[in-house]
Chain A
Amino acid sequence: MALNNASEESTETKFQGAWRRYRRDTLSLFGLAFIIFLIVLAIAAPLVAPYDPTQIDLGATFVPPSPLHLLGTDYLGRDTLSRIIYGAQIVLTIGVTAALLMTVVGLLAGLVAGYFGRYVDELLMRITDIFLIIPALPLILIFVAVFGPNVLNVIVIIGLLSWPPLARIVRAETLSIMGRDFIAAEKTMGARHTRTIFRHILPNILSPIFVYSALGIANAILIEAAVDFLGLAPLSVSWGYDLSIALNYWVRGAWWIAFFPGLFILLTCLSFFFISDGLNEALKVE
């Protein structure tokens, strides 16, 4: 039996091995399933949403969850369920692109600092430290307020202000690779910097980058929700924006405007957390 297993493992591809390790954790599978569900929901929004998310119906304001409006309506009679479905589009777009930008910047800063070392490292890491301890949310709020709350600005500002932790991880990983013999050999043979970095260092540090980027998406979504909540929403359909409506009208007891969009934020962030956890297991070298 054991022998059988071993032979099976030797023939499987890298991807199959990773998938087998990923599958082991139920929560990681749940996370992946929920995100896929959300993506489908976002793409198929015009087909599945029962109402237009901005359609005002003053005859049906503050309707509690009921057959006609499954998750209720807000102060303008807009359907909460439809707003959540359409909101998924904007939340996923901002979350993923901001995390992508964060990854690129963090990766570059970390690679350059780790590879070139000395004063380049010193300079880059001081900058990283400054951004690491400065309270991120207030700074993001100021920038969004100054440059104007539109989708592109929110993405760029979140992306450009959340890279320091990743830069530190990438730097540490790069340093540990730099100490290996094959890098020394590469250098002796006179390889160009770009070749060493992209052919030898980058492929060896990819796993922690994937793991952190998945967390980065969750982080970006939480920040975006906070930005929306505090009155700087770039669009009038998003989960964070609905929470700000809920705060304005909480005395009316319309709990559904707060509960359901917030629940989706929570589930989405948890899912990315579990995906990150699963990737950590899956990409481990056994």
Chain B
Amino acid sequence: MLLNFAIVHLAPGGPAAMLASPKISAAARLQIMKTYGLDKPWYSQFELYLIGSLQGNFGVSYFYSAPVMSMILQRLPNTVLLMGASLLATIIFGIPLGIISATKANSPVDRASVVLSTLGWAMPPMWLGLILLFVFVLYLPWFPPGGVQSITGGGWLDVLWHLVLPGFTLAFGSLANINLFIRSSLLDVLKQDYVLAARGKGLDRRTVLYKHALRNALLPAVTNIGLSIGFLIGGAVLVETIFTWPGLGLLTFEAIGHRDYPMLLGIFFIFSIAVIGMNLVTDIIYAFLDPRISY
């Protein structure tokens, strides 16, 4: 049991993943080099790219004629803001909703939350985004159509105002992931003997739920949040494109349009680092939360 835990939770973000993802972007890079007929033999190009990317040098963008790295760094804060806000919103709404769903299984609240989550899973984010554009920008001009702040500027409230629609679109898609995960995880835990034992001791429902059951149910959810970052990044590409949010996702879209391969690979490299980093963080958090694991 313990071993199983260790294997599963050490795996994401371990050294193997760390080593391999630059290789993948380099391999894709290789394909491009060939199609463009660059004359150096592949292994020295591979070596150059590997060394270059480790030093944070991804070459020069075909379209902007600027170093890829500086373009990425310029856009990165916006994407971090958007994804951070969505992740926070998903956690704030998803976890309580999952808890309510599990404790009141099959109640109207539970059903509504399951329906909502299923919809979020099956709904293309670009569809939701477009509908929000039509309703809340075109017909009811409550929110700005895009960008990160007004041309005139206007402080953090202005940024927050711009963040509402894209943040909501991104969060809605990943709500299912966290909400349904907590729900099934908590339902499993509530069925276990030790919960029954705690109730049998005469502890009231609330104490058992928060002190005993929830702690164990939230553990796998921590890992799941780490794994959902990859999904969130995919969503960010779509959402940023819809709301012209000037982050890495929009940069990806532009790079696709211009067939700007160094840019695409540079962005992908950063995305991979982010995912691996986040999984490392969730693994460490997990180790803190679970007394059975020590590194």
Contacts and interface: CB of A to CB of B under 8 A. Distances in A.
Interface in B14-28: 14, 16-17, 20-21, 24, 28
Nearest to A243: B126
A142 B138 contact: no
A253 B272 contact: no
A222 B127 CA distance: 11
A235 interface: no
B32 A146 contact: yes
B200 to A, nearest CB: 31
Interface in A116-158: 125-126, 129-130, 132-139, 141-143, 145-147
Contacts of A269: 121-124
Nearest to B234: A137
B209 interface: no
B118 interface: yes
B16 A126 contact: yes
A226 B121 contact: no
A231 B17 contact: no
B234 A226 contact: yes
B124 A141 contact: no
Interface in A182-230: 218, 222, 225-226, 229-230
A265 interface: yes
B236 to A, nearest CB: 9
Contacts of B11: 125-126, 129
A129 B134 CA distance: 40
B114 to A, nearest CB: 11
Contacts of A115: none
Contact of B124 (A125, A126, A132, A243): A243
Contacts of A226: 124, 126, 234, 237-238
Count chain B CB atoms within 10 A of each CB in A229, A251, A265 and give the residue with the most. Answer: A229
Contacts of A259: 127, 130-131
Interface in A225-241: 225-226, 229-232, 240
A133 B122 contact: no
A142 B268 contact: yes
Interface of B, helix, strand, loop or mixed by DSSP: helix
Which of the four size classes fits the interface of chain A? 35 or more
Given A126-B11, A132-B12, A138-B252, A265 B271 contact: no
Interface stretch (B57-65, B148-156, B258-266): B258-266
A134 B124 contact: no
B233 interface: yes
A250 B133 CA distance: 8
Which of the four size classes fits the interface of chain B? 35 or more
A146 B261 contact: yes
Given A243-B126, A262-B124, A133 B12 contact: yes
Given A139-B24, A225-B126, A262-B126, A132 B241 contact: no
A138 B11 CA distance: 22
A240 B124 CA distance: 9
A246 interface: yes
Nearest to A250: B133
A216 to B, nearest CB: 13
A58 B14 CA distance: 57
A132 B229 CA distance: 11
Contacts of A145: 256, 259, 261, 264
A22 interface: no
A253 B264 CA distance: 32
A270 interface: yes
A255 interface: yes
Nearest to B249: A138
Contact of B123 (A125, A258, A266): A266
Interface in B268-295: 268, 271-272, 275-276, 279
Contact of A135 (B133, B241, B271): B271
A234 B35 CA distance: 20
Count chain B CB atoms within 10 A of each CB in A132, A230, A269 and give the residue with the most. Answer: A230
A247 interface: yes
Contacts of A229: 124, 126, 238, 241
B126 A135 contact: no
Contacts of B230: 133-136
Interface in B55-108: none
Given A146-B31, A251-B138, 4 more contacts: A136-B230, A136-B234, A138-B233, A250-B133
7 contacts: A133-B13, A136-B230, A138-B267, A145-B256, A145-B261, A262-B131, A263-B127
Interface of B: 11-14, 16-17, 20-21, 24, 28, 31-32, 35, 118-119, 121-124, 126-127, 130-131, 133-134, 138, 226-227, 229-231, 233-234, 237-238, 241-242, 252-253, 256-257, 259, 261, 264-265, 267-268, 271-272, 275-276, 279
